[in-house]
Structure 1
Amino acid sequence: MTKKKTTEVRRDEIISASLRLIEKNGLDNLSVADIAAEINLVPSAIYRHFGGKEEIINVLIDFVDRSLQTNAASVAGSSNDAVRKLESLYKLHTDFLKTQPAIPRIVFSLLAANKNPTLKKRIISVITDYAYQVQNILAKGQCNGDIISTIDPAATALLFIGMMQPLIILSQSEDSSVDILKQEMWAVYARGIRN
């Protein structure tokens, strides 16, 4: 007899399956039936753990938020040098996107459409909070003399986040130069902000 899985284990399986399907087919094509088929369940079993697709997407947004906040918190005490903190955060962020390729598809899909304003508002809030943390690192770096005083921390934080988009696009190809480009992009950014 097969041992029944706990609710937590089953929810994790559903989220993992959702991420795989989004990576393959995009967020708009995600369906409860496909998630169930991906993990050999009937659709009604998914509804025992989630109220439907929207609730699953909300949990995915929570996952993005937790991941970004964890990365930001992990660099908070890593160095007194703001540029080194940002470099560590950049590596964590690019590694996260590399290991979770469905995440950019979720973010771009929610930002591009107005199908669900509540979900769109939530993902914007997650990105805004993360940008604010980057902005704080930059502002503190200016106070410490690590970062040049002539930059605007808010705009420079957005540039930090914006560096991810070309890497995401290039990672869709089999181009092995993505890792080299990632390092070169960081070097350009760091030269532009270091005092």
Structure 2
Amino acid sequence: MNTRPPHLPAEERREATVESVIELAAQRNPSDITTSAIAQHMGLTQGALFRHFPTKDAIWEAVMQWVATRLMARVDRAIASHDSALDALEAVFLTHAAFVAEHPGVPRMLFGELQRAEDTAAKRAARTLLAAYGKRVRQLIVKGQQRGELSQDIEPDAAAAMFVGAIQGLVMQTLLSGEPQHIRSAAPGAFALYRRCIGSTK
């Protein structure tokens, strides 16, 4: 159980709750995380928890929004730090891998929400995140083609899907291995293969 300050401003308490859920998701199936477990992890009562979130679904939605905000901020910084589209793609790939290594509960939460049959606010937030992420990657691929860095023969949508698929494959390997840092060491080699697939042949 984490020992957190008993009195926090509302926004800080909400963020602490989200971070606690992500920590718990790294240790167990997200569908098994109860509000009681969250409260216990934070050293709170369930009543105190529900003063900030009316329902468990509201907590899950906040988690997805937290993930989207932080991951996309890192992605945008990675893109802005490179003029070369190919270098920016590599930076995004490695940045994403580092994010997963730091927050291994995140992919568990994302996969869990996307697999839910019902259309929840959290599931919609997860889909919105994936769409925004894919759009950024596609834009970089088109930019790379325009600058002659990437092959003109590749189809941008397919190349973007391959990029996302490569990351997801590494995430699955990491989850299976039970070693969150595995993705850091595997990411450079995986991107090198991707780079050879999409690079210009000139």
The TM-score with structure 1 as length reference comes to: 0.90
Identity percentage over the alignment? 24
Given that 1:68 and 1:130 are in contact with CA atoms closer than 8 Å, whether structure 2 keeps it comes out as no
Does the alignment pair 1:139 with 2:134? Answer: no
Matching residue within 36, 40, 52 for 2:39: 36
**Aligned match of 2:82:** 79
**2:196 counterpart letter in structure 1:** R
The TM-score with structure 2 as length reference comes to: 0.88
* Greater CA drift, 114-123 or 7-16: 114-123
Give the count of matched residue pairs: 194
**1:169 counterpart letter in structure 2:** M
**Aligned match of 2:190:** 185
Alpha-carbon distance between aligned partners in 1 of 2:144 and 2:160, rounded to the nearest angstrom: 12
* Greater CA drift, 71-80 or 59-68: 71-80
Alpha-carbon distance between aligned partners in 1 of 2:17 and 2:183, rounded to the nearest angstrom: 31
**Aligned match of 1:111:** 114
Secondary structure of the corresponding residue to residue 106 of structure 1: helix
Alpha-carbon distance between aligned partners in 2 of 1:97 and 1:64, rounded to the nearest angstrom: 10
Which of structure 1's runs of 4+ aligned residues deviate more than 4 A? 174-180
Task: Report the CA distance shift for 1:182/1:76 in structure 2 as closer, same or farther (over 3 A).
Answer: closer
**Aligned match of 2:104:** 101
Alpha-carbon distance between aligned partners in 1 of 2:6 and 2:128, rounded to the nearest angstrom: 40
The CA deviation at 1:169 is: 2.4
The CA deviation at 1:155 is: 1.2
Task: Report the CA distance shift for 1:184/1:24 in structure 2 as closer, same or farther (over 3 A).
Answer: same
Alpha-carbon distance between aligned partners in 1 of 2:178 and 2:33, rounded to the nearest angstrom: 25
**2:8 counterpart letter in structure 1:** K
Which sections of structure 2, spanning at least 5 residues, go unmatched? none
Alpha-carbon distance between aligned partners in 1 of 2:82 and 2:41, rounded to the nearest angstrom: 43
The CA deviation at 1:116 is: 3.8
Matching residue within 42, 55, 59 for 2:58: 55
Given that 2:98 and 2:184 are in contact with CA atoms closer than 8 Å, whether structure 1 keeps it comes out as no
Which sections of structure 1, spanning at least 5 residues, go unmatched? none
The CA deviation at 1:160 is: 0.8
* Greater CA drift, 54-63 or 116-125: 116-125
